């Protein structure tokens, strides 16, 4: 296929072979881990800063404002200035706080982000690790971020932080079910939990089209639940400024606050990238039946362009949610999950299983 010219497998194999020829197996592994770690650190910082800038622009557009427009062309250096400010701000000690857990919490959130990013295929052969239980791994690891949130709220010795953490815990535990069931619906269609195989199964068509109505319902539920999972509006009760100052990270300052701030945007990127991978074909190009000429043109667009294009489209939808809908109350938020989304998901899984069993999908 034409898009095999963008296969990164040969590049990664060449790097691995070159390192093995130059050093021992132990140091080869260490060097590869360092290279991957540095790349992910750079990616984390760049994507985080870009999404902060993008959200400010999206918010400004919806509110008929300009947004950042002073530092650099179109204000592109504003987020960098904010980052420098946070890096050099004083770390304020909190009286009677549990200092060990207080300092540990932001690192737990960051580490969880890196662990999930490692399993995401950015292009053909362009992923850190390809588990055969990739979907299960993503669900299991991403749910660990609530530990950092709960620790941050409890160890801060603040009633506002504790309330925000408890709200976040209730929300993440609840909406994790809908995310899991939505992904299980697509696993039934794909017949595999390995993310690379799920993408390969969409070579002849993206699952959101091949899976009929159940796939579309699973996609909608996943977007709603993913928005809640990342503590974003209209589900941002854990950080409700009008009620809890800043929620579970009220007492944090400087770089520790920056960790939580960036983690929210990286979580949004992770939710969107999983949606793009499982529902929208990941890095697979858009094909239409027997339109060979059209399909060849689509094949020449690099796979990572397809992946990031789909991911940023989902991010844009999630950003629209925040700046369009009013914040829900905590009882409304939990009612939406337990009385509506969860029953819909359970029925949807059964319908998808029936469609696959009867062979009614495309």
Helix (H), strand (E), coil (C) string for 61-91: HHCCCCCCCCCCHHHCCHHHHHHHHHHHCCC
Q: Please, which residues have CB within 8 angstroms of residue 37's CB and are 6 or more apart in sequence? A: none
Strand partners, 126: 123
Instruction: Name which of 263, 252, 284, 286 is nearest 4 in CA terms.
Output: 284
Mean pLDDT for 266-275 is 93
pLDDT value, residue 241: 61
Q: How far apart are CA 92 and CA 197, in angstroms?
A: 48
CA torsion through residues 216, 198, 305, 140, sign: positive
Determine contact, residues 35/300, Cβ cutoff 8 Å: no
pLDDT band, very low/low/confident/very high, at 272 (cuts 50, 70, 90): very high
Percent over 70 (pLDDT), the chain: 95
Which helix H or strand E contains 293, and what residues bound it?
helix 292-299
Determine contact, residues 108/148, Cβ cutoff 8 Å: yes
pLDDT value, residue 246: 66
Q: pLDDT digit string (tens) for 134-155?
A: 899 999 998 888 888 889 888 8
Q: How far apart are CA 226 and CA 224, in angstroms?
A: 5
Question: Across the chain, what does the average pLDDT equal?
Answer: 86
pLDDT value, residue 2: 42
231 φ/ψ sector (left φ>0, alpha ψ -120 to 50, else beta): left
pLDDT value, residue 220: 94
> Is pLDDT at 206 greater than 60 in this prediction?
yes
Query: CB-hemisphere CA count at 13 Å for 236?
Result: 23
Instruction: Name which of 198, 75, 80 is nearest 133 in CA terms.
Output: 198
Q: Please, which residues have CB within 8 angstroms of residue 224's CB and are 6 or more apart in sequence? A: 178, 336, 341
Q: pLDDT digit string (tens) for 218-268?
A: 999 999 999 988 888 788 776 666 665 667 778 888 888 888 888 889 999
């Amino acid at each position: 296929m034409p898009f095999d010219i963008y296969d990164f497998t040969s590049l990664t194999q060449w790097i691995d072979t070159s390192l093995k020829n130059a050093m021992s197996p132990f140091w080869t592994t260490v060097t590869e881990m360092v290279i991957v770690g540095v790349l992910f650190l750079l990616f984390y910082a760049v994507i985080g800063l870009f999404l902060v800038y993008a959200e400010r622009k999206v918010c400004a557009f919806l509110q008929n404002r300009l947004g950042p427009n002073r530092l650099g062309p179109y204000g592109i250096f504003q987020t960098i200035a904010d980052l420098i400010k946070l890096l050099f701000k004083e770390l304020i000690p909190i009286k009677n706080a549990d200092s060990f857990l207080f300092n540990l919490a932001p690192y737990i959130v960051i580490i969880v982000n890196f662990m999930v990013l490692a399993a995401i295929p950015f292009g053909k052969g362009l992923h850190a690790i390809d588990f055969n239980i990739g979907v299960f791994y993503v669900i299991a690891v991403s749910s660990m971020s609530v530990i950092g949130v709960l620790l941050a709220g409890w160890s801060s010795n603040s009633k506002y932080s504790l309330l925000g953490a408890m709200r976040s815990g209730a929300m993440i535990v609840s909406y994790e079910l809908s995310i899991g069931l939505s992904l299980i619906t697509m696993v039934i269609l794909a017949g595999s939990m390995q993310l690379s195989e799920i993408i390969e199964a969409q070579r002849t068509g993206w699952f959101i089209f091949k899976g009929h109505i159940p796939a579309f319902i699973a996609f909608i539920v996943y977007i709603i639940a993913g928005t809640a999972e990342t503590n974003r509006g209209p589900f941002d009760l854990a950080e409700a400024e009008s009620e809890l100052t800043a929620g579970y990270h009220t007492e944090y300052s400087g770089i520790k606050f920056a960790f939580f701030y960036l983690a929210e945007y990286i979580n949004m990127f992770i939710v969107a990238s999983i949606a793009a991978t499982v529902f929208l074909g990941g890095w697979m190009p858009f094909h239409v039946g027997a339109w060979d000429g059209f399909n060849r043109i689509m094949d020449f667009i690099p796979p990572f362009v397809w992946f990031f294009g789909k991911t940023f489209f989902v991010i844009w939808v999630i950003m629209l949610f925040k700046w369009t809908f009013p914040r829900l109350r905590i009882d409304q938020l939990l009612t939406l999950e337990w009385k509506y989304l969860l029953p819909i998901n359970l029925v949807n899984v059964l319908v998808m299983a029936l469609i696959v069993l009867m062979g009614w999908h495309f």
